[in-house]
Amino acid sequence: MPTKRALFVLATSFALAVASPAFADDQTDVAKARAAYEAKNYDDADRRLWSMLNPDSGTLKDAGLRTQARMYWAATMLARKNPQEAADQFEKLLLDDPSFEPDPLSFPSEVIDAFIDTRKRIIDKINAAKAEQAKMQAERRAREEEDKRRAAARVRLLEKMATEEKITERHSRWIAMIPFGVGQFQNGQKALGWTFLGAEAAFLIGAAVAFPFYVYNRSHAETARGSNPDADPLKSYRERANTASVVNGALNVAFAASAVVGIVHAQLTFVPQTDEMKKRPLPQVSGVSPTVAPVQGGGVLGLAGRF
């Protein structure tokens, strides 16, 4: 598709365009100095290498190119009969890069011998430099691992935040005034809520059932009294009516008492709000995003994502 092709071309163009021109310039300068040395134009080689390695205004920043330049500068100093300056350059080279080995085919034997003699002379400094470099590398790895750990923890936290939704439910004291354990359920006290709901419902249902018995027996008692005031059925109906009335009254009182206790308890233990975490699927992210990758002497900018 045209869009995919355009994005691919754009990514490639970025990668080629952002490569550091400074690194290419440094390579060219070192190559010119090497050519001057190999042509035995030592004055020109010395001038070029001095401009690159001068501690005050040197332009060479890349460690690998700096090592090459120092090797050629030391060889130039030997060619100009300046062994002390050559030894100084060899020493700086070895302390910066203790594992460096010169190419024996690129330099005369006297240069290689001088390099070996310098390395032997400062072997203790080289070992100390190696130990320092190993320590720095270990510290850097430890920092990188810690950064990775923190990044992973941050990703886990972000994923957790993205997959969880916090819902806050605000409570009302007016709702806590409702009987049947409504206030307890609102406060999150489910066991007490069910207890009050069951007890109050039982009292209310019992009172409701007792009332028709009272009405029935009271009605029949009135009928029996009109026909025969001294008959046994009259006394029986009255007793059952009185019993139903007492049961109804007691159950109503029990309902009222339990309702009041439940409401008071709900008000005393009132919880203003509750928080609930709900799960949701992790959002799927697609598309193209810029990426930056470090390379020797610079960086590469590109694009990542679905093309």
Bridge partner residues of 293 (DSSP): 300
Distance CA 279, CA 58 (A): 60
What are the sequence ranges of the domains in the chain? 2-135, 174-269
Torsion sign (Cα): 151, 156, 159, 160:
negative
| Amino acid sitting at position 65 | L
| Residues 6 or more apart whose Cβ sits within 8 Å of residue 133 | 98
Q: Which tens digits make up the pLDDT trace of 194-227?
A: 998 898 899 889 888 878 877 777 777 667 665 5
| Residues 6 or more apart whose Cβ sits within 8 Å of residue 106 | none
Distance CA 46, CA 28 (A): 16
Which uninterrupted H or E stretch holds 169?
Answer: strand 164-170
- pLDDT at residue 302, as a whole number: 59
- pLDDT at residue 237, as a whole number: 72
| Amino acid sitting at position 5 | R
Question: Is the backbone of residue 115 left (phi > 0), alpha (psi -120 to 50) or beta?
Answer: alpha
Q: Which tens digits make up the pLDDT trace of 12-52?
A: 454 444 445 666 788 899 999 999 999 999 999 999 999 88
pTM (global) more than 0.75:
no
The three-point CA angle 186-187-192 to 5° equals 95
3-state secondary structure 238-306: HHHHHHHHHHHHHHHHHHHHHHHHHHHHHHHCCCCEEEEEEECCCCCCCCEEEEEEEECCEEEEEEEEC
Q: Is 98 helix (H, G, I), strand (E, B) or coil?
A: coil
* Residue ranges, the chain, pLDDT below 50: 1-9, 11-12, 14-19, 307
Residue recorded with tokens 């005369």: 108
Contact predicate 173/272, CB 8 Å: no
Contact predicate 90/76, CB 8 Å: no
